Amino acid sequence: MNHKNISFITLVFFSFIYSESIWVNYGWEIFDNAGDGRALSLGNSFTADGTSPISVLWNPAHQNSQRNLPLSYGHQNRFAGLVSSDVLVFGFKSKIRTPLSIVILREAVSRIPDTRDFLLDWGEDGMPGTMDFGEGNGVLDEGERLDFENIKYFDQSQWALHFSTAKKINNFTFGIAAKSLFHNLGGYNGNGFGFDIGAKFSPWEGNIIGLTFNHFTTSWFIWDNGTVERTMPNISIGITQLLKLSTIPLDFRFNGGAIKSLAYNGIRYNLGLELNYKSNLQIRLGRNNNGFLSTGIGLIWVNFSIDYAYRPSPSYTGFGSSQLISFRIDPIWFKNKIISFL
């Protein structure tokens, strides 16, 4: 190792030591809120269910899910269009012995109002700098007013990358994921990184149990002002059970899971129920970790599928509804179709 590399590593090491470091319970929600139409409609209950390419976000051991449709794209509008997000998933398996999945995430919120100069907090006399009663107290007192021309707007955007791979040992599959996050908030920038590990096994036919250790090294997020935000690990456990009926062409899938964060007390739960008719039509219902209910539908073909999810706004929140549409495709089949068309 040359002197330049040693100097760089030393600089990075001491920047962590002397930077302000705080523990947070937020910052990586882009991974929690992401998903395709199937994931959202099933409440993101994918710790054990690896039948969608996006499943690797919840358990990196789910590499075997990308055998038929390895390319997936989804667009989501949440809270009546206030938040928009996109997800793109690639799965590689043919030319390399070890499977690899790559997930690209984007999330954006536009025209967020900045109301810090909205209140002319000048006190009862309406004159700045006189230090009379009410000046600078942050409350709209008599004699003060709101200046709508002082409202400014800013944008928020996030990009994230997720790389994962897995290895099967006997009856168990173990996976590891590396993830990074790039955040811009009103001109302030930050970068983060973290790691997840996961495992799954099948104790009997049609059943899978999954376990994921998220942020297992603690995830770091570094703002451009030197502040370091650290996220505590959490543990997720899930189960999926597929029931096939012999007399009629119906399958039932039940997903359940629980998540425990080391940062707070209590356990959160998610659930998903899917009805599959002739492997072509799927009707879904789910509940995610935050208690939001969702429903959806999927149309499945051999080389292509399309999924739609809808999540209404709970009455106590005042937020708008969320909708997502996504598709999965076999890129080789799509390439051949384009060539034959041309």
Q: Kindly indicate the confidence band of residue 7, based on its pLDDT and cuts at 50, 70 and 90.
A: very low
Token pair, residue 294, equals 């969702």
Closest by alpha carbon to 35, among 331, 292, 307, 291?
307
User: What is the tally of structural domains in the chain?
Assistant: 1
Question: Residue 18 falls within a domain, yes or no?
Answer: yes
In a domain, 193, yes or no: yes
When pLDDT is cut at 50, 70 and 90, the band that residue 212 belongs to is: very high
Mean confidence (pLDDT) of the chain? 81
Whole domain around residue 269: which residue ranges?
3-115+151-341
Token pair for 53: 């390419």
- Domain membership of residue 36 (yes or no) is yes
Asked if residue 138 belongs to a domain, the reply is: no
Q: Is the pLDDT of residue 213 over 70?
A: yes
Least confident of 32-36, 294-298, 317-321, 324-328: 317-321
Residue 17 has pLDDT above 60, yes or no: no
pTM comes to 0.79
With 70 as the cut, is the pLDDT of residue 23 above it? yes
**254 to each of 52, 242, 284, how far by Cα in Å?**
15, 7, 10
Greater confidence (108 vs 333) lies with 108
List of E strands, the chain: 21-24, 71-78, 83-92, 100-114, 119-120, 145-146, 152-169, 172-185, 188-201, 207-214, 219-223, 228-231, 234-244, 250-261, 268-277, 281-287, 293-300, 304-311, 322-329
CATH code of the domain in which 40 resides: 2.40.160.40
Average pLDDT over residues 189-198: 93
Q: For residue 132, is it within any domain?
A: no
Range scoring the smallest mean pLDDT among 226-235, 250-259, 309-318: 309-318
Residue 163 domain-assigned?
A: yes
Question: Could you tell me which residue, 328 or 285, shows the higher pLDDT?
Answer: 285
**pLDDT, tens digit, 9 for 90 and up, residues 135-180:** 666 666 666 666 666 677 767 889 999 999 999 898 899 999 999 9
Structural domain contains residue 308: yes
User: Mean pLDDT, to the nearest integer, of 7-33?
Assistant: 63
d(CA 195, CA 187): 27
What is the three-class DSSP state of 274? strand
Between 295 and 121, residue with greater pLDDT: 295
For residue 139, tell me if it sits in a domain: no
